[in-house]
Amino acid sequence: MKADIGLIGLATMGQNLALNIERNQYTIAVYNRTTERLDEFINGKGFEKNIIGCYDVENLCNTLKKPRIILLMIKAGKPVDDSISMLLPFLEPGDIIIDGGNSFFSDTIRRLKKLENKGIHYLGAGISGGEEGALKGPSIMPGGSLEAWKHVEEIFTKITAKINGDPCCSYIGSDGAGHYVKMVHNGIEYSDMQLISEIYYILKKFLNLTAYELAKIFAEWDKGDLNSYLIKITSKILLEEDPVTKNPLVDMILDSAKQKGTGKWASQEALEMGVPVPSITEAVYARNISSKREERLEASKLLTGPTPQFSGEKSILVEATRKALIAAKICSYAQGFSLLKAASDEYKWELNLSNIAQIWRNGCIIRARFLKQVKVAFQQDKDLSNLLLDSYFSDVIKTSQEDWRFVVNLAVENGIPIPALSSALSYYDSYRNPSLPANLIQAQRDYFGAHGFERVDKEQGLIYHYEKWAPLDED
């Protein structure tokens, strides 16, 4: 029997995607570099299923129907190049390789070009949803060869998550578009997680709430506008008890965050593109500073600050933090979608931002009720330059901003770090402000570097230089 699709890489994602594909009535051939992992899978979770274990890539390729479709679910970087090189001798023109891992988009562009020259179709498909999503239905962002997409559309549409029956997967755009969109998804994920953590910390510090009391608040929020996977898992996490100490498990976890790099890539790309994404970047920095735990412990002995105190009404602060979270979340998504818009123009991907919001509505880590409104906003105006300009979102911020400012003030006055909440507010205030202090920056640039400036009373684009800046007094 020939298999419909092959998969390389049987770690968390690969195993669960294989089971998902098989459950959807396809026969799948699987290979893993380390044989023990393959044996464990085919004799364990994959036992007595339409899953064919292959012990080398030649056998994998010979087991597949033509054109062959091979999905790589392995570590990004060199392993992907190595695996492609290993496959090539056994492939024919028309065969398809899909990289479903978190590859950097420019690697995907490079690989696609190389493979196209050999007649092999290549797709870079970002896949989100973690272990459970991979098994039950992930969100999938495929980009690259349109020809390849035509061959895999049916399988991907079946295995992906659905929202009201519609798939959370559609063709994103040419070459690296799919991996770029996944990278921005992960950037937004970083800022969503950071914002939730800052709100958790504010409530914990000011109201002295236990993890269990906090869990109730997040569970309540999940019933409303903030309904999302990350809020839901936060309420579940806060309920968990450490089996050893019987303390809330979250209180026993070291406050030192790790990262795999996709948030950093999103920030770097945004800098490259000149698109401000402070919420994403601050979320990356927040993980960086958290990981310098030894240094922080030393610094805490020397550096002083206020002790958090709040004497107001608990319910008022809880409601204010809810509104602050919604407003900051809107800004974070506004930044992410602005980056996508700029990348779409730069790389000529013609990204459909409404479809991307649709893909993210289920299956992925940032899935949220709120994305329905994002989808509508870009459906109504596909050229919308910033989500903040959509009337639904500007109205939400109008009704939330007083509370948002209150929460930011309170945290700052009391020495509680809120890099994502406060940078989102500064983003909002910068974006909405008709005048910024950049006139002084231009003057300084002209003073020391004769860089020139435009004038408020002259046509834009005309550059003036002031010849008579007063010299510095001699010391």
Q: Is 364 in the site for ligand NAP (CB under 6 A)?
A: no
Residues 304-323 that bind ligand NAP (CB under 6 A): none
How far is residue 360's CA from residue 192's CA, in Å, rounded to a whole number?
14
Q: Which is nearer to ligand NAP, 10 or 286 (CB)?
A: 10
Smallest distance from ligand NAP to CB 105, Å: 13
Binding residues among 115-134 for ligand NAP as defined by CB under 6 A: 127-128, 130
Give the residue numbers marked as catalytic: 182, 189
Shortest gap between Cβ of 16 and ligand NAP (angstroms)?
A: 8
The minimum distance between CB 22 and ligand NAP, in angstroms, equals 17
Least spacing, CB of residue 13 vs ligand NAP, in Å: 3
Tell me if 265 sits within 8 A of 343, measured CB to CB. no
Which amino acid appears at position 272 of this protein? E
| Sign, CA torsion 192/336/163/125 | negative
Task: Name the segment binding ligand NAP (CB under 6 A); options: 7-15, 107-115, 139-147, 343-351.
Answer: 7-15
In the complex, least distance from residue 469 CB atom to ligand NAP, rounded to whole angstroms: 52
Q: Minimal CA–CA distance to 160: which of 183, 126, 121, 194? A: 126
Those residues whose C-beta lies under 8 Å from the C-beta of residue 392, and which sit 6 or more positions away, are 373, 376, 377
For 20-53, b where at least 16 C-beta lie within 10 A, e where not — what string?
A: bbbebebbbbbbbeeeebbeebbeeebeeebbbb
Binding residues for ligand NAP restricted to 23-62, rule: CB under 6 A: 32-34, 37
Interface with ligand NAP includes 13 (CB under 6 A)? yes
Tell me the site size for ligand NAP, rule CB under 6 A.
Answer: 22
From start to end of 3-117, where are the E strands?
A: 5-8, 28-31, 51-53, 69-72, 96-99
- Taking the least distance from each CB to ligand NAP, the nearer of 88 and 376 is 88
Q: Which stretch binds ligand NAP (CB under 6 A): 12-20, 240-248, 291-299, 321-329?
A: 12-20
Instruction: Establish if 425 lies at the interface with ligand NAP (CB under 6 A).
Output: no
For the bound state, the minimum distance from the C-beta of residue 1 to ligand NAP, rounded and expressed in Å, comes to: 24
Distance from C-alpha of 338 to C-alpha of 435, rounded to nearest angstrom: 21
Residue 329 · residue 425 · CB < 8 Å = no
SS3 assignment, position 127: strand
Interface with ligand NAP (CB under 6 A), residue from 6, 14, 173, 176: 14
Nearer to ligand NAP, 128 or 170 (CB): 128
Q: Is 102 in the site for ligand NAP (CB under 6 A)?
A: yes
User: Could you say which of 3, 5, 10, 69 contacts ligand NAP (CB under 6 A)?
Assistant: 10
- DSSP-derived letter for residue 25 is T
Given the complex with ligand NAP, which of 83 and 191 has the nearer CB atom? 83
With the CA atoms of 371, 272, 279 and 236 taken in that order, what torsion angle do they form, in degrees rounded to the nearest 10? 60
- Report in angstroms how near the CB of residue 8 gets to ligand NAP at its nearest: 7
Handedness of CA 258, 260, 266, 267 (dihedral sign): positive
**For ligand NAP, the closer CB: 87 or 320:** 87
Give whichever of 9 and 278 is closer to ligand NAP, judged by the CB atom: 9
Are the CB atoms for 124 and 149 separated by under 8 Å? no
Q: Are strands 121-128 and 139-144 parallel, antiparallel or unpaired?
A: antiparallel
Position of minimal CB gap to ligand NAP: 101
What are the structure tokens assigned to 208, written together? Answer: 């002295």
> x-or-dash pattern for ligand NAP, window 152-181, by CB under 6 A?
------------------------------
Cβ proximity to ligand NAP, 102 vs 194, nearer residue: 102
Task: Considering only residues 59 through 88, tell me which ones interact with ligand NAP, judged by CB under 6 A.
Answer: 73-76, 79, 82-83
Beta bridge partners of 468: none
H-type alpha helices, 348-390: 353-359, 371-380
Q: What angle do the packed helices 371-380 and 314-347 form, to 10 degrees?
A: 40
Handedness of CA 415, 417, 419, 421 (dihedral sign): negative
Taking the least distance from each CB to ligand NAP, the nearer of 12 and 245 is 12
Piece in contact with ligand NAP (CB under 6 A), picked from 10-18, 55-63, 350-358, 383-391: 10-18
Binds ligand NAP (CB under 6 A): choice among 6, 46, 53, 101 = 101
Residues making contact with ligand NAP (CB under 6 A): 9-14, 32-34, 37, 73-76, 79, 82-83, 101-102, 127-128, 130
